[in-house]
Amino acid sequence: MQSSLDRRPRQQGLHAAIIMDGNGRWASARGLPRGAGHRAGVKTIQRVAEVAPDLGIGTLTLYAFSSDNWRRPAEEVGGLMRLLRAYLRGETERLARTGTRLSVIGRRDRLPAGIPEAIARAEAATAAGDRLHLRIAVDYSSRDAILAAAARLGPEGLSREGLSGALGADGDVDLLIRTGGEKRLSDFLLWEAAYAELHFTDRMWPDFGTADLATAIADFSARDRRFGGLNVAAVPEAA
């Protein structure tokens, strides 16, 4: 079994995950409808995905729509689904051209007609991308994903590696960022982020820029990651 001290992301580069919070407040502060905040949030996704590989990120997982977000007003939910559809339609070609492999995690059976097919098309068209693995979480609940993965494996198949595989985890999360000033995990990647370093920023997602991502990475790089063990330099040699 892999020891807790040699845990490393499987792919090249860091696995960063972002809870993209603050779109609504960003819009309200400008007297705009919440949908304008989500539209601005999509531009931030484009910006961040473009620079992420240059900052050492190999996998980027973004929380776009939680399973609890269905409780929002139908108009807002509909707007988010339209944005997702437009993103898939408008971005796939650019993602493929820039070596970005797109995956969507979460349930697909409750998404509006046509979206699961659009996701499958975008995933197929970008499958060869090896510069960045961009994972977007839609109708996602980490608790539900863990339960479903465990049920698929059955008691005999359960192991740490087995569950990570069944979750399609693509390596543990190294750095988990939340924008918008709140400090909670909101049912996001609870298994995969077991040893993630956490970075919280007051910046609203539409305002989150390259410099903010670079700050988060620098903050991460300064952390002493011990994975439950001791810092090797701090352990006295055996007598």
Binding residues: 21-26, 34, 38, 66-68, 70, 72, 178, 184-186, 197
On the CB side of 14, CA atoms within 13 Å amount to 23
Cβ(22)–Cβ(203) below 8 Å: yes
- Show the tokens assigned to 121: 């098309």
What is the pattern of x (binds ligand FPP, CB under 6 A) and - over residues 81-100? --xx--x-------------
- Comparing CB distances to ligand FPP, the nearer of 25 and 108 is 25
Annotation says 21 is catalytic: yes
Alpha-carbon distances of 210 from 4, 118, 226, rounded to whole Å: 32, 29, 28
Instruction: Check binding of 80 to ligand FPP (CB under 6 A).
Output: yes
Instruction: Check binding of 18 to ligand FPP (CB under 6 A).
Output: no
Return the SS3 of 189.
coil
Dist CA 39 CA 205 (whole Å):
11
- Comparing CB distances to ligand FPP, the nearer of 40 and 163 is 40
What is the pattern of x (binds ligand FPP, CB under 6 A) and - over residues 39-68? --xx--x------------------x----
Among candidates 101, 227, 112, which has minimal Cα distance to 174? 227
Q: Taking the complex as a whole, how short is the minimal distance between the CB of residue 234 and ligand FPP, in angstroms?
A: 40
Count interface residues toward ligand FPP (CB under 6 A). Answer: 19
Cβ(47)–Cβ(206) below 8 Å: no
Instruction: Check binding of 101 to ligand FPP (CB under 6 A).
Output: no
Instruction: Check binding of 24 to ligand FPP (CB under 6 A).
Output: yes
Q: Calculate the CA dihedral of residues 20, 24, 29, 35 and round it to 10 degrees.
A: 110
Residues known to be catalytic: 21, 69
Which residues of this chain interact with ligand FPP, rule CB under 6 A?
20-25, 38, 41-42, 45, 64, 69, 80, 83-84, 87, 136, 180, 205
